[in-house]
Amino acid sequence: MKAGELFRGAKTRTDRCIVVAGASGGIGQPLSLLLKASPLIDELALYDVVNTPGVGADLSHISSPAKVTAFLPKEDGMKHAFTGADIVVIPAGIPRKPGMTRDDLFKINAGIVRDLVKGCAENCPNAYLLIISNPVNSTVPIAAEVLKAAKVFDPKKLFGVTTLDVVRAETFVAEITGQKNPAATTIPVIGGHSGETIVPLFSLAKPSVNIPADKLDALTNRVQFGGDEVVKAKDGAGSATLSMAYAGFRFAENVIKAVKGESGIVAPTYVYLPGVDGGDEIQKATGCDFFSVPVELGPGGAKKAINVLKDVNDYEKKLLAKCYEGLTGNISKGIEFIQNPP
Ligand code: NAI
């Protein structure tokens, strides 16, 4: 299969087309595998600066319904990959090495996300954009600014993927409670996606969980800095990829199901609050324009931001105060990168 072979010459895309931008990477490959295996997808388009023909050929032998197309930048590959796409998931960029924070990635990843989102604005302005590339706290504001400048910004369709924090919270809580199926407990994790900006709300878990007081600090810290465990264990070979692919797939699947009309789907995600119903109230309470909260998803994307802030306990309020401080700076940094380019 040559790059883009299945698509070249076609005037319209197949029904439900999802693009993975950064498809050859540590996250991109397993995420693409999960998407290829999903019966909800008609076409999976792979885009990366390297290796997509190989990844595409490999995935295309899997006997699931989704067609696979693969593109490189040459021969207008980005344009062909993005044109007519329904959803674009972006895990492109460099990952962390030991000793690095997510913010250290900004210098390289900010430009990568800016250029990919420009490509989306030009070729699939109506697509749902799911941003995985770190630092999410800043790359989502970058995406919003690019879309605004192109006059195609629909805040209901722009999502920062913070699902891995939720997945980690579910897993680490179950290690304490002994719950057999960790994912059966819903635990809101709100704020941002980096260190102390990540705020797990164990008091709002459903069904409720009992975390012994002497374990709460360590558990909270583990959710906030769980990514470091993986970076350290991989010892220079990158950050979370497999768990992130699982999390990214879970969120993408939720968006697809909601767009297809399934109701009652709620997932925490990092959104532009003033543009989402219910977001104004949360924006006022947090002072942050971008924030991850449980969002009800619907056919148009983010249907309603759910204000869980009024229900948090004193312990969580203290965590939130630190979150607001860090997050505000991360958001400004992203906006500044587009409004006053370096
Ligand atoms: P990786 O280095 O294995 O893969 C990144 C891929 O992006 C590579 O294949 C590379 O060729 C591609 N790429 C680079 N520039 C590109 C461009 N301009 N257009 C298209 N593709 C491009 O990295 P990995 O481990 O897959 O991580 C990717 C990103 O995801 C990193 O920024 C990482 O920090 C972030 N991440 C986010 C998480 C989250 O919870 N949101 C969790 C874990 C990682």
pLDDT of 3 reads 41
* C-beta separation of 18 from 252 below 8 A: yes
> Among the atoms of ligand 1, which is closest to the Cα of residue 28?
26
Write down the H helix ranges in 150-183: 163-177
pLDDT of 342 reads 86
81 lines ligand 1 (CB under 6 A): no
Ligand 1 midpoint to CA 332 (Å): 22
Ligand 1 midpoint to CA 132 (Å): 8
pLDDT of 191 reads 98
Other beta carbons within 10 angstroms of residue 326's beta carbon come to 18
Q: Which among 36, 156, 193, 303 is annotated as catalytic? A: 193
pLDDT of 16 reads 76
In terms of DSSP bridges, do strands 301-305 and 198-200 run parallel, antiparallel, or are they unpaired? unpaired
pLDDT of 29 reads 98
Ligand 1 midpoint to CA 211 (Å): 34
Q: Could you give the 3-state DSSP secondary structure of residue 313?
A: coil
109 lines ligand 1 (CB under 6 A): yes
241 lines ligand 1 (CB under 6 A): yes
Ligand 1 midpoint to CA 93 (Å): 4
* DSSP state for residue 188 in the 8-state scheme: -
27 lines ligand 1 (CB under 6 A): yes
pLDDT of 11 reads 41
Residue ranges of the annotated binding site are 22-28, 48, 96, 102, 109, 132-134, 168, 244
Longest dimension (CA), the chain: 63
Whose Cα sits closest to atom 20 in ligand 1?
Answer: 48
pLDDT digits (tens, 9 = 90+) for 54-87: 999 999 999 999 999 999 999 999 999 999 899 9
Structure tokens belonging to residue 273:
């609050």
> What's the pTM?
0.96
ipTM over 0.90: yes
Low pLDDT (below 70) residues in the chain: 1-15
Q: Which of 133, 163, 189 to mutate to test the pocket of ligand 1 (most atoms within 8 A of CB)?
A: 133
pLDDT digits (tens, 9 = 90+) for 271-292: 999 999 999 999 999 999 999 9
Cα–Cα distances in Å, from 295 out to 63, 68, 203?
A: 34, 30, 18
* For the chain, the helix, strand and coil percentages under 3-state DSSP, each to the nearest 5: 50, 15, 35
pLDDT of 98 reads 85
pLDDT of 14 reads 58
